Structure 1
Amino acid sequence: MDFATLPGKIATGRLGVALSRFLPATPIWEREWDVCCILDGCRLDLMREVAAAGHHALPDPDRVGSLWSVGSQSAEWMDRTFSPAYNEVMSRTAYVTGNPFSSQPCDHLLVTSDDVLPLTSDDFAVFHEAWRDDWVDDDISTIPPESLTDAAIAIWRERERLDVDRIIVHYMQPHAPFRSRAEWFFGSADIEHWGQFTDDDGHQDDLDLADLSPEEREALEAIAEAEAEADDDGDSMNDPWLRLRDGDLSFDAVWGAYRDNLEWVLDDVSRLLANCDGTVAMTSDHGNGLGEFGVWSHPPGTPVPALRRVPWVVRQGRNRDTYDPALPDAIRDERTTTNDDVGSRLEALGYR
């Protein structure tokens, strides 16, 4: 038995899942905000470090608070944040997301239920999966923050017509891949790595998860789960935290790229703050493990503070009309078509 890895196996195994449910957790609905920005995979200490450096979107570091997240991985966070208990408030909330887990059932995860994911337009006043239209596969495969900010500003300015009281903007940064280290990332069959697949010849193809049949999706999720459980080197190929664990990357290099990704999204949050009146919160769905209790990256159902204690920052937005984006086409189309047309178009987009 490898005693060096035993704490991590306990923390991420069934015992960890059981303990995770007893951790204090604060759903974002219990805090006051008009716009809530989810900065995917942001550690509390990283946010405080960038605040100390004086980033204009953040207050002084002593005003960067925290809360205990309801999950340690995105699908787990979605499952608990958007549970049926919050249906009433969700019906008046817009959700703009860059995270593809919104479309995945994820019932293979021990920590998720069968009645939340995948999310649909019926769950929210406005539901915009920005990743469907605005994903890029240039140097890295991800969704940059700009299109989410554009959608959020446009929705917030038309909130009365759209029957929206609140809006959640789920940015993908600072989660990997890192814009400053594109050479670290390549295709994978793991859904966690955003829908890229590399065949046996090393040729990388785009994979549209919405086009998969239920059988194909189940097979792909089985591959992802098997890779996550594997003990060989294959489980770290696209995860910088596991490569850091394995000694393939240095701490300074990974931390620097991670910080740059946070600054990337915060630069865009600054644009949101200048174009939306109201209380704007910044938090995260989960952090990332750096070896605390033997845990690296962000496995689901993990009761480790590095993953579960996330930032909570509140700023006041002031609309200065520095930018005037239009509503995304998908939202405009849905709001100007008949109910029958809405159903057919959502089905075509994979919403139903």
Structure 2
Amino acid sequence: MDARSRLSRALGTPRLFLRHANRLYHRRCGLRSHDTAGDDPFDADWDTLVLLDGCRYDTFARRADLPGTLERRRSPAASTVEFLRAAVDGRDLRDTVYVTANPQLRQHDDVEANFHTVVDVWREDGWDDETGTVLPETMTAYAREAARDYPEKRLVVHYMQPHYPFVEADTTFDKGHLDGSVGGENVWNRLLAGDVDVAPDEVRRFYAENLDRALPHVAALLDALDGRTVVTADHGNMLGERSFPIPFREWGHPRGIYTDELVAVPWLVVEGDERRTITRGEQTADGEREGERADDAVVRERLRDLGYAE
């Protein structure tokens, strides 16, 4: 989205100006690019890191019935790209394979990702056209295959849920961007503007049920993996709570705003029977950014389907 489009959108939605003011506060007027008080997930001891996109700690604690020890951690980010910049950019991750349903890494050339390899599940064969996302069962299948193919590498498995679209919900307000009927604007900004005729409690229910949709497939992955697995999130999500310091009702996961709802994430440690022996290999062609263009048509289409307007 270019500067003129952003300005036009902000003029039509005054709360976007309030959001920007809150962002200036949280980012110290641009002095920090992410939440420097957040924990570094890649500095922890694990063999597999499962990321649930946009998963709040409180929702996970209420809904998840997975084995392991759960605690609350603080993400360094309020959005996926901010997470990648804070936790991945410039890091030597040649001992790690990134299996992802989220196209953000391929969109942002400023993130130097040095994984051993990247498995982009969202490309043609992993994408579900009907729902406009990567289904969690697809992610689990790809992650199990990666564990077999790379037995001496750490895995990062990035599920798309509970990020919308709400897979099981018989709804249209979260899927109108798929056919262009809402002009590509995402659900959260439409809720912010008051353009969605859905009760806030219903939206919260759909969000929680979208997490429910993923959890059995996460459980199946835990059963299939050796070693220590951590289930966490890249960031949280606001569901109509009041932001800070300007206390308007906020929706979604706007980057640069570090309320509890946006940075409090689960940290579930699941101990396996046997730790994997991890080795650092050379970066494969799939792990490099070379040849992956920021204007890749597939990347743009997937991001549109997932409602990334910013």
Q: In structure 2, the residue corresponding to 1:137 is in which secondary structure?
A: coil
Q: Counterpart amino acid of 1:256?
A: R
Gaps of 5+ in 1: 107-113, 189-195, 203-232, 320-333
Write the letter of the residue equivalent to 1:98.
A
RMSD (CA atoms): 3.3
Provide, for residues 223-271 of structure 1, a one-character-per-residue CA deviation record: whole Å limited to 9, x for no partner: xxxxxxxxxx979x53157527726221221121111111111110111
Q: Which of 140, 163, 166 is the equivalent residue of 1:149?
A: 140
Q: Which residue of 1 aligns with 2:186?
A: 238
Aligned-pair identity in percent equals 28
Q: Which of 18, 42, 67 is the aligned partner of 1:29?
A: 42
Which structure features the higher share of helix residues? 1
* Other-structure match for 1:125: 116
Of structures 1 and 2, the larger Rg is shown by 1
Within 5 A, what are the aligned runs for 1:150-229? 150-160=141-151, 164-181=152-169, 182-188=171-177, 196=178, 198=180
Q: Which residue of 1 aligns with 2:203?
A: 254
Distance across 2 between alignment mates of 1:130 and 1:22: 28
Q: What is the CA distance between 1:147 and its match in structure 2?
A: 2.0
1:74 corresponds to which residue? Answer: 80
| TM-score, L = length of structure 1 | 0.65
Number of aligned residue pairs: 261
Give the letter for the 2:22 counterpart: A
For residue 299 of structure 1, what is the aligned residue in structure 2?
254
The reply to whether residue 17 of structure 1 matches residue 27 of structure 2 is: yes
- 1:79 and 1:348 mapped to 2: Cα distance? 17
| TM-superposed deviation, 1:15 | 3.0
Q: Aligned match of 1:92 in 80, 90, 95?
A: 95
Counterpart for residue 224 of structure 2: 275
Question: Structure 1's 24 and 129: CA in aligned 2 closer, same or farther, altered over 3 A?
Answer: same
Counterpart among 42, 51, 64 of residue 55 in structure 2? 42
Task: Give the drift of 1:100.
Answer: 1.1
Q: Give the partner amino acid of 1:284.
A: A
Contact 2:78 2:262 in 1 (8 A): yes
Alpha-carbon distance in 1 for matches of 2:88, 2:119: 15
1:22: how far off?
5.7
Distance between the aligned counterparts of 2:75 and 2:143, measured in 1?
Answer: 23
- CA distance 1:75–1:254, change in 2 (3 Å): same
The alpha-carbon distance between structure 1 residues 43 and 30, as it changes in their structure 2 partners (threshold 3 A), is same
Q: Which runs of 5+ in 2 are unaligned?
A: 1-12, 275-282, 299-310
Q: Give me the TM-score of the superposition, normalised by structure 2.
A: 0.73
Q: Is the 8 A contact 2:165 2:175 kept in 1?
A: no
